[in-house]
């Protein structure tokens, strides 16, 4: 689960990231990345439509993408807003395929952003508002 500070929550945040961000499409997903304030924690949002499958399939895809996003926060903890749109092919993709597509798309979009975001810092322990330590 992503910490509250690392989630995109409002439709305005989603639309701003999609419209002004850098886009990269893969077989299983489309990833949009935009730079935000240097001191702000990176935020990630997910779009998994009914075209992906039934509720069970959509939730499985969403959980896998959420875990991929949580892993990417270790390298890009601040300065990025990311929206991940799952494509119908994601329903049959394995965890490894989704993770590979996510990491490749994130690498391409951050490279395209250039120096407009802070460099990846070493992961640090962050405490969520619930009091549980997060890596």
Q: Model-level pTM?
A: 0.79
- 58: nearest Cα among 47, 69, 67, 68: 47
Q: What is the pLDDT of residues 19-75, one digit of tens each?
A: 999 999 999 999 999 998 878 898 999 999 999 999 999 999 999 999 999 998 888
Kindly list the domain boundaries of the chain, sorted by start residue.
25-114
pLDDT of res. 37: 81
Q: Which residues contact 118 (CB under 8 A, 6 or more apart)?
A: 38, 78, 79
CB atoms within 10 A of CB 130: 9
Mean pLDDT on 114-130: 46
CATH class for the domain made up of 25-114? alpha beta
């Amino acid at each position: 689960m992503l910490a509250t500070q690392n989630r995109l929550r409002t439709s305005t945040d989603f639309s701003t990231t999609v419209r002004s961000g850098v886009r990269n499409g893969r077989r299983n997903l489309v990833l949009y990345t935009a730079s935000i304030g240097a001191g702000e924690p990176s935020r990630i949002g997910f779009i998994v439509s009914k075209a992906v499958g039934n509720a069970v399939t959509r939730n499985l895809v969403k959980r896998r993408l959420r875990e991929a996003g949580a892993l990417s926060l270790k390298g890009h903890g601040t300065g990025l807003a990311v929206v991940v749109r799952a494509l119908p092919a994601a329903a049959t993709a394995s965890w490894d395929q989704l993770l590979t597509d996510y990491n490749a798309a994130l690498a391409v979009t951050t490279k395209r952003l250039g120096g407009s975001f802070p460099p990846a810092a070493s992961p640090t322990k962050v405490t969520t508002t619930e009091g549980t330590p997060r890596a």
